[in-house]
Amino acid sequence: MYYDDLTPLQNRYIGDQGIESLYEHQISVILHIKNKKNMIVSMPTASGKSLIAYLSILRTLEDNKKAVYIVPLRALAAEKYNDLKQINNYGYRVMLSIGSVEDDINLDDVDVLVATSEKFDSIMRSGNKWMNNLGIAVIDEIHMIGEPNRGPTLESVISKIKTIKPDTQIVGLSATIPNGQDLAEWLNAKYVYTEWRPVELEVYAVDKDSKQMYSESSNDIVNNLEKDKDAVLQIINKTLSSNGQILMFSNSRKNVEKYADQYTPYIIKYLSSKNKKDIDKEAKELNDDVELSSAGKKLFALVKSGVAFHHAGLSNSQRGIVETLFKKRLIKLIVATPTLAAGVNLPAKTVIINETYRMGNGSFSPLSIFEIKQMCGRAGRPGYDKKGEAYIISSKSAFYNVINRYLQGNVEKIKSSFFIEDSLKTHILSVISSGFATNINLIKGFLENTFGSYQNPSFDVDNLLSDVVEFLNAYGFVTTDGYNIKATSFGKLTSTLYIHPDTAILFKRSIEKYDEKFILSIFQIISYSPDTIPLFISNKKGGDEGEIIDAIIQNYKNKWMIDPDKLSEHEYIRFLNSVKTAMMYMDWIEEVPIYELERKYGIGPGDIMNKVETATWLSYAMRELSVLFNKEVRKAIDRLHIRIANGVKDELVELVMLPQIGRIRARKLYDMGIHTVDDFVKADIELIATVVPRKYAENIKYKWNDRAKKDSTNASF
C-alpha cells in the first residue's frame, strides 16, 4: 500500500520491511511525521511504535539532517542498530556508539547514530560539531527519565537538545507512560497513545496455595487450575504443550538459578531430537570460552535441557547466546531478573512472575506497578500467538493484595530526580565546559528547561545553582566573577572524561602523592570514588571477611591515600568495601582465573567484567588528569591502565597491545618464549598458529612489517 503523505523513500522502507499496511494508530501520526512534530508515543510492546520513529528518521535524513537514536541499555542499542542499519541500503551511514570515553569517534560521515544516553551525553560534552546539523532525537524508553540513577543523565541530554538545538524534533517512545501528557506538554509534543496490542494480553493473579486465579479482563475469580497439582507446573505444561515459550521472572540471582534448576526436569521432555542437536550446535560457544566461568558451565548444562537463567552476573556473550537461542525457539524457558523486561525484545507466549517484592537495604519492598506491567507486557509473540498470558504468583495471604495493587491499581507517575545537588555538579559543569553556558542566566535557562523544573515550577533554582557554582569554583573546576563563568582546564577535562567532580578531586589528590609501588591503594581510590559501585562485605553468619579486610587496612595504615582513622562509620564501611574491590582488581591483574574470582568474591563473570570496565575507564581518567597534576607518573598509570584493561601481569603488557591477543593467549605466547612484539613478528608462523588463529597471526605480522618498512623509509630521509 502507498501512503500519499509519506515520501517515496518512506514508502519504499515500509515495503522493504514486508509491511503490507500500517495500523490505524500509525496512520494517525503520518501528518505529524511529515510536519516533523515532536511526539510522545505510548503504545504496548510490539504495537509498532518503533516504525513511527524509523519513518521520522527517514524524513529527517531526506532534509540532509542528522539523527540520533538514544537508548538506556547497551543490549537495546545493539538491537536497534541491527534494525536501523538497513538504512545503509539507501545511501546513508548508520553507526553504533556504546564504547568507553577512550574511543575516538569520527562522526563526519555518520547520518544516524545509535547510542546510550551516557555515550551521547559524552559526545555532547566534547562539543562535537555533528550536533550542529542534528534534525531528530529519538528517545527510546523515555520513561527512564524517572529512574533515580540514570534518569538525570537522560533528562540532561533531552534538556540540552531542547535548549541548544530547539528546532530538533524529539520523538519519545515507551510502552508504559502513566503521565505521558506531562512529558508531551514539557516537550511541546503531540501525545500519541493507544492500548491496542497485536496480540491480546490476559493477566492473572494466582494463589499458589488454593489454586485460585483472578482474571484482570473479567474482573473475577476463574478456576482454571487443578487443586492437587503445582500451580506453576500446570502453567508451564499448558504453555509448552501448545508449543509456546516462557519467560519467568524472579527477584534475585539466587532464586533465578534455583527455579531454572527446579523446572529443568519438566522442560526437557518437550525437546525433540532435532531441538537437542540444534542446541548442542548453537550452544557450543558457551563451552568453548578460553576462560570458562563456573556460571558458564552451569548455564551450558541447563541450556542443553532447553532452560536458561539470565541475570547481570553472566557475561555479555553468555546473555547474548541465551537470547539468540530463545529467539530461535530452542530454549523453552528463561528464568530472569526483572532487568530483562526493560532490555532486549524477547516476547514469549507466557510470562510467570514468581515474586512481587525485592530485597534491599536489609528489608523487603514491593516491586512497582510499572515494573510488573513491563514484565507482563512481554507476553504474546506477534506472528506466533493469538493471545499472551501473564501470571503473577502469590501466596494465599498476599493474593488479594496482588489483585488490588497490580491488577486494579494505577501505574506510578514518572517523577524527575534531576534536582539533586550531587547530580547537578556533573550536569552544570558539563554545560559550562562545553561552552554553552557562559553566565549564570544561561545555566539557569538550561535548568528551567528540564522536566524537573516543569514538574516543580516553584522550585528555588537560584539557591541550588549558587551552591553548585560555589563548589565548582572552590575546587578549581570553574572561574567566575559572580555572573560570567568559565571552565578551567581541570573542569573541561573532568567533564570530557565523564567523571563526577568528586571523583576528579579524589584523583587529583591521589595523583599528587602517587606511589606506583602500592597499587592496591590506587585500586582502593578507584573503588571508593562516586563513579564506582564497590563489592560489598559479606554479612553472612559466622563470616569473618570484614575482620580480614580490616586487618589488611591496619597493616598498610600508612600506605593508603585516604586516612581510614578520619572516616565516619558510614565512610569506613565504604572504605572496607573499596578495599575488597581493590583486592579483586589485584587478583585480576595477577591473572587469577575468572572461575577462581567467582569463588573467592562471590560474584559472576558479568560482575567481574563490569567492574573491570569501570576500573579501565577510571584508570584512563586518572592517567589523563596526571598531565595536569603530576606528569612524572603518567607512564606508570598508563601501564597500570593496560594491565587492568587486560587482566595481566606487567610482563605481558606489550603482547596484549596486539589485536586479538587477550590475556590467555598472551600468557601462552610468553611461556613459549615470545615476550615482545618483535619476538612475535620474528617467530615461526606455525608456532604462533598453535595459540593464535593463523589469519590473525598473519595479519599482525603483515601490518607490523609494513609499519617497520615505512618507519625505515621515513628515517632514510
Q: Measured between alpha carbons, how far is 184 from 40 in angstroms, rounded to an integer?
A: 6
- Residue 416 — φ and ψ, nearest 5°? -70, 140
Q: Measured between alpha carbons, how far is 355 from 301 in angstroms, rounded to an integer?
A: 25
- Cell numbers 505521558: residue: 180
DSSP 440-457: HHHHHHHHHTSHHHHH-T
Cell matching residue 297: 558451565
Cell matching residue 90: 539507501
Among 475-479, 523-527, 698-702, where is mean pLDDT lowest?
A: 698-702
Task: Report the relative pairing of strands 112-116 and 66-71 from DSSP bridges.
Answer: parallel
Residues 364 and 261 grouped into a single domain? yes
Among 1-15, 26-40, 89-103, 124-138, where is mean pLDDT lowest?
A: 89-103
pLDDT band for position 540 (cuts 50, 70, 90): low
Asked if residue 688 belongs to a domain, the reply is yes
Which pLDDT score is estimated for 712? Answer: 47
Residues 454 and 512 grouped into a single domain? no
Asked if residue 658 belongs to a domain, the reply is no
Asked if residue 438 belongs to a domain, the reply is yes
Among 111-115, 141-145, 223-227, 597-601, where is mean pLDDT lowest?
A: 223-227
Q: Measured between alpha carbons, how far is 482 from 491 in angstroms, rounded to an integer?
A: 17
For residues 561 and 510, the answer to whether their CB atoms sit within 8 Å is yes
**Which of 477, 449, 359 has the alpha carbon at shortest distance from 161?**
449
Q: What is the pLDDT of residues 606-662, one digit of tens each?
A: 999 999 999 999 999 999 999 999 999 999 999 999 999 999 999 999 999 998 899
Task: Report the relative pairing of strands 478-480 and 485-487 from DSSP bridges.
Answer: antiparallel
Q: Which of 366, 382, 407 is the last residue of a domain?
A: 407
Helices (H), 187-283: 231-241, 253-267, 273-282
**Which of 209, 249, 200 has the alpha carbon at shortest distance from 228?**
209
> Of 421 and 666, which is predicted with more confidence?
666
**What pTM, to 2 d.p., does this model score?**
0.92
Q: What is the mean pLDDT of residues 391-413?
A: 96
pLDDT at 564 over 60: yes
pLDDT at 377 over 80: yes
Asked if residue 416 belongs to a domain, the reply is no
Q: Measured between alpha carbons, how far is 210 from 396 in angstroms, rounded to an integer?
A: 7
Residues 289 and 236 grouped into a single domain? yes
For residues 382 and 46, the answer to whether their CB atoms sit within 8 Å is yes
Q: Measured between alpha carbons, how far is 641 from 502 in angstroms, rounded to an integer?
A: 21
Q: Which of 146, 165, 193 is the last residue of a domain?
A: 193
Q: What is the pLDDT of residues 95-124, one digit of tens each?
A: 999 876 656 678 989 999 999 999 999 999
**Which of 73, 89, 118 has the alpha carbon at shortest distance from 346?**
73
According to DSSP, the residues that pair with 214 across neighbouring strands are 205, 221
pLDDT band for position 89 (cuts 50, 70, 90): very high
Q: Which of 159, 193, 227 is the last residue of a domain?
A: 193
pLDDT band for position 711 (cuts 50, 70, 90): low
Query: Chain centroid to CA 28: how far?
Result: 33
**Which of 20, 85, 29, 23 has the alpha carbon at shortest distance from 56?**
29
- Domain of residue 619 covers 501-647
Residues 398 and 337 grouped into a single domain? yes
Which pLDDT score is estimated for 716? Answer: 39
pLDDT at 543 over 70: no
Residues 187 and 334 grouped into a single domain? no
pLDDT at 581 over 60: yes
- Residue 207 — φ and ψ, nearest 5°? -85, 105
Residues 302 and 239 grouped into a single domain? yes
Asked if residue 538 belongs to a domain, the reply is yes
> Of 127 and 489, which is predicted with more confidence?
489
Residues 515 and 634 grouped into a single domain? yes
Q: In percent, how much of the chain has pLDDT > 90?
A: 76
Residues 130 and 272 grouped into a single domain? no
